[in-house]
Structure 1
Amino acid sequence: MIRPTLFLAAILLAAPVQAQPAPADVLPLIDAHLHYSHDAWDYLPTADAIAILRKSNLRKVLVSSSSDDGTQKLYEAAPDLIVPELRPYRRRGELSSWVRDDSIITHLEARLAKYRYVGIGEFHLYGADADLPVPKRMVALAKQHKLFLHAHSDAAAVQRLFVHDPDAIVLWAHSGFDRPDAVRDMLKRYPNLWADLAFRSDHASDGRVESEWRKLFEEFPDRFMVGTDTFTPERWHYIEEHAKWSRAWLASLPRPLAEKIAYRNAEALFARTSYKVDR
């Protein structure tokens, strides 16, 4: 995984974070993979986090957090900008244990009763663990509330999610960190599978899209979206740089395709759920 250098981080930390209006020619962008978890709150106050998002000229951002309180802090501060999804984790330490913790379902049910979300995730789930009672019940909750599932998973776990609910809508985090041909096979097999490109630098270099990924984008123009993944607090200071990089490689694609990956696909995904996003 590529992380910003200390030098870049220092520059970004020193940069002002005042919101600025987006120039008319700037490609709209939805970041479909952000976290504002408990270790970020003191490091980066909510007002500063929102300022970074606005300075990056983002149209919307899909946010999940450990705990969900972080997402609610951002949503309360900027409901026009934040699209909330519900992460199963109450804290970071539950990343691997949640699949065998029955109390997670109680937690999800309580939050779903209190707040509005577009999806459940991002959650980490691999292989046969997807057949455990807790993940299966989570899939049922997503179906009940008409939400998508945001899965940081291998192909085997994604396949099992669709076994549990053939009509499920799944956003595959990081495109499964898999090869373009393997991603193609999954997209062909599951019409309700979407893919974010968070933390994937292999699809673009020198401002242009790699040939195999370009073929994949052209074959499935409606199924990809961009994301940053602020899995550590420090990565919040990389959001603006990532938005610029995303706009640079998207500019090498035909404008209609670039717009779909930049924001239209995310908007279409949100519209498939019970959550109504303000335009």
Structure 2
Amino acid sequence: MRCLAVSLTVVMAVSAVAATAQERLPLFDAHVHYSHDAVEMIPPAAAVAILRQAGVRKALVSSSDDEGTQRLWREAPDLIVPSLRPYRRRSDTAGWTNDPTIIAYVEDRLSRYRYRALGEFHAFGSDIDKPVVQRMIALARHHKLMLRAHSDADAIDRIFKSYPEAIVLWAHSGFDRPERVREMLHKYPNLWADLAFRNDHASGGVVAADWKAVFEEFPDRFMVGTDTFTPERWHYIGPHADFSRRWLSSLPRDLAERIAYRNAEAMLLKVAPGPGLQQ
């Protein structure tokens, strides 16, 4: 009995060490917003503390309006990777594709600050063919920025038709089925996908078989993200980081590290040099 107790103690200790090591897996959160209402509720120093306490080593941040992103980047330039969202206020989300004044706003911000991406923006299907969106895609081409698209598969097709060399991060993996995501990744080598605000890829800390197959086929194309689309979601960054590490621990270590942070870093090295990531 004593030997059994000792053995169990050793097993539990080893398991605890393994769990601690997995908890220390750094994360690149590829889907963070810090909009005007979040700034009011969570000051920049507190927001940075939340990210660091969660073990986030980098965060790709955009906001409505862009001032939130700039304030957060000034607070922690080693942590924040700025992305320019084409929204001056939340209400722009619905009508921006038909609003030419959006372009003046985007051009002004691009002339004053440096970014690694344009987006997250919401555009579906034929929205991509509208002049406002086409001009934004042209600006991404000119400035060599990644496009962060909250879009359906049809819109992704249209983006690459407009700009075949684009680097595109597909927000939420399009909220699409794993087999459809697989099809799109096959079609476009410069398409990456984040897993923000979806948990169908993992249950009970284990990756679903259909998603695992896609992760293994495309080990360098997925990344984690929280999506702080409301201020309250900032308080979920820590728990979401824990959730991510749990399901990542069910994957081989190399694949887990790729999805946790390496893929996002590699993706951003393909765009123009800029703040938030050494090149």
TM-score above 0.5, yes or no: yes
Q: Offset of 1:278 from its aligned partner?
A: 3.1
Deviation per CA, 1:213-263, whole angstroms, max 9, x where unpaired? Answer: 000000000100000000000000000000011011101100110110000
Counterpart CA distance in 2 for 1:139 and 1:41 is 28
Q: Which residue in the other structure is 1:79 paired with? A: 77
Counterpart CA distance in 2 for 1:76 and 1:184 is 38
Counterpart CA distance in 1 for 2:113 and 2:194 is 24
Q: Which residue in the other structure is 2:33 paired with? A: 35
Q: Is the 8 A contact 1:50 1:78 kept in 2?
A: yes
Secondary structure of 1:122 counterpart: strand
Q: Which residue in the other structure is 1:249 paired with? A: 247
Q: Which residue in the other structure is 2:143 paired with? A: 145
Deviation per CA, 1:160-189, whole angstroms, max 9, x where unpaired? Answer: 001110111110000000000010111111
Q: Which residue in the other structure is 2:212 paired with? A: 214
Deviation per CA, 1:21-61, whole angstroms, max 9, x where unpaired? Answer: x9797111100000000111111111111110111111100
Q: Which residue in the other structure is 1:190 paired with? A: 188
Structure 1 residue ranges (4+ consecutive) displaced by more than 4 angstroms after TM superposition:
22-25
**Greater share of residues in helix:** 2
Counterpart CA distance in 1 for 2:86 and 2:199 is 27
Comparing 22-31 with 65-74, greater Cα deviation is found at: 22-31
Counterpart CA distance in 2 for 1:185 and 1:75 is 36
Counterpart CA distance in 1 for 2:116 and 2:176 is 25
Q: How many residues align?
A: 258
Counterpart CA distance in 2 for 1:108 and 1:271 is 23
Q: Indicate which of 92, 96, 99 corresponds to 2:97.
A: 99
Counterpart CA distance in 2 for 1:272 and 1:28 is 21
Deviation per CA, 1:83-132, whole angstroms, max 9, x where unpaired? Answer: 00000001100001110111111111111111111100000001111100
**C-alpha RMSD of matched pairs (Å):** 1.3
Counterpart CA distance in 1 for 2:254 and 2:263 is 11
Unpaired segments of 5 or more residues in structure 2? 1-19
Q: Which residue in the other structure is 2:278 paired with? A: 278
Q: Is the 8 A contact 1:38 1:66 kept in 2?
A: yes
Counterpart CA distance in 1 for 2:225 and 2:39 is 21
- 5 Å-filtered alignment, 1:1-279, equals 26-276=24-274, 277-278=277-278
Q: Is the 8 A contact 1:116 1:275 kept in 2?
A: no
Name the amino acid aligned to 1:278.
Answer: Q
Counterpart CA distance in 1 for 2:23 and 2:29 is 18
Secondary structure of 1:62 counterpart: strand
Change beyond 3 A, Cα 1:37–1:25: closer
Counterpart CA distance in 2 for 1:115 and 1:122 is 17
Secondary structure of 1:218 counterpart: helix
